[in-house]
Amino acid sequence: MPSNFYSQRASVTLSNGKNMSGQKEIPRLSFFAPTFFYLLPPAPSSTETSQLSDNQTSAIDLSTTDPTPIFEHFRGSYGTELLTAAVAHFNVFGVLANQPKSFDDFRNALGLAERPAVVMVTALRAMGLVTKNDDRRLRLTALAAEHLSPGAAFEVSDYIGLAAMSPGVLEIAERLRTNQPADVSGDGGAAFIFRQGIKSAMDQENLARHFTLALAGRAKNVAPVLADRLPMDGVNQLLDVGGGTGIYSIAMLQKHPKLRAIVLDHAEVLKVAAEMAENYGVADRLELREGDMFSDSLPTDCEAILLSNILHDWDVPQCQQLVERCAAALPAGGRLVIHDVFLNDELDGPLPIALYSAALFTLTEGRAYSQAEYRGWLTEAGLTPGEMLPTLIHCGVLAGGK
């Protein structure tokens, strides 16, 4: 995937004929044809799509503008914080000034675990400050060597260092050093993730409601596009793992009137999903099932399993475990659908995704991953990956068939 993949902006024409500025026109993806990455024929007729009642809230109406730039501006602060931390707290450019280093030598010199080192290096490569030699060693670019190397004639490190003690910089430096997510709830736990052995803000009703609805803000924009892009041919029931409010399943149910879905999540989150299912008029076809995606049994009667913006919350071993669990639960011919953001396979951008990866890193145990990483996990789990197609706000959809 080219580094400017997500910055190519022209126009999207969706199957309902609406046009959305902000992305290139995207072909449809078929997962359930014999070769499931062939492109689908023209859009389905209106009889194949749910007809919403006048008083039913729609989850498949598209916004008239593309909100992606808003998210890019919002996440831009992570660029400032990472760069300042690299200069003032980790001496990254001093470490690389004398000679290139392997990734492991680099992270050991900084005292970083693998995950924070990947997040930092990806961002610095996306900024054009660090690159790799032919032998895959990290080195400074000409830009960084001239302006960020200690003692360089045109060095600006002290200027950047003026922000060294700002709260955001101190916070991300601490996250990098400890490789632990921020404790937003103030009780020694994590904010947006559930895992046995740690406290989670999502176990507290008020915080769970607040965070779940906040995260739904982006999902409400993306869900209509995903429902339009993702064919459900041959699918009677969809399992939405960690589905939160259920908005992605709700959009699918409205798009496909014969479909049923199960949202698997924790109790406090499912209270919000129950309200959403009623508001959107799909409660009769949406089952809300309490469970832990890492330890509880997954249903085996769902022809498609959706992991929408789930894997980026977890480190590599947990991602591999979850993909394997989902693959094992699929029937023959089923599909595991990964809907997420995608870094370049070289882990050198795009910059908006690299900065989003930093945001994920500070709040979860994960980061953004590349298409190559996802494909590797799908293949290891015995699935055949298809092609990735973008949806909205830097997200894309990649499926593996069983």
DSSP-derived secondary structure for 129-153: SEEE-TTS-EEE-HHHHHHTSTT-T
Q: What is the pLDDT confidence band of residue 40, given thresholds at 50, 70 and 90?
A: very low
- pLDDT score at 215: 86
Supply the pLDDT for residue 173: 98
Task: Report residue 242 as tokens.
Answer: 């960690």
Distance set, CA 93 to CA 99, 223, 231, 355 (Å): 11, 41, 48, 19
Query: In this predicted structure, what is the pLDDT of residue 212?
Result: 86
14 phi and psi, to 5 degrees?
A: -95, 170
Q: What is the pLDDT of residue 209?
A: 84
Q: For residues 59 and 49, give the distance between their C-alpha atoms in angstroms, rounded to a whole number.
A: 13
| Residue 112 confidence (pLDDT) above 90 | yes
- Degrees, nearest 5: CA angle 172-175-177: 110
Q: Mean pLDDT over residues 233-239, rounded?
A: 97
- Beta bridge partners, 304, equal 238, 335
* Placement of tokens 């707290």 in the chain: 89
Through-space distance between the first and last CA atoms of the chain, rounded to whole angstroms = 24
Q: Is the pLDDT of residue 33 over 50?
A: no
What mean pLDDT, rounded, does the chain reach? 86
pTM (two decimals): 0.85
pLDDT for 194 equals 55
Peptide bond into 350 cis (omega under 30): yes
Residue spans of alpha helices (H) in 189-258? 205-229, 247-255
DSSP 8-state code for residue 346: T
Residue 207 pLDDT: 75
SS (H, E, C) 166-200: CHHHHHHHHHHHHCCCCCCCCCCCECCCCCCCCCE
**The predicted structure's pLDDT at residue 188:** 52
Asked if residue 106 has pLDDT above 60, the reply is yes
3-state secondary structure of 69: helix
Q: How far apart are CA 108 and CA 101, in angstroms?
A: 10
State the average pLDDT over residues 103-121: 98
189 falls in which pLDDT band (50, 70, 90)? low
Strands 384-385 and 395-401: antiparallel
Q: Does residue 264 have a pLDDT over 70? A: yes
Q: In this predicted model, what pLDDT tens digit does every residue of 171-186 receive, in sequence order?
A: 999 999 999 988 754 5
Q: Are 336 and 323 contacting, i.e. CB atoms less than 8 angstroms apart? A: yes
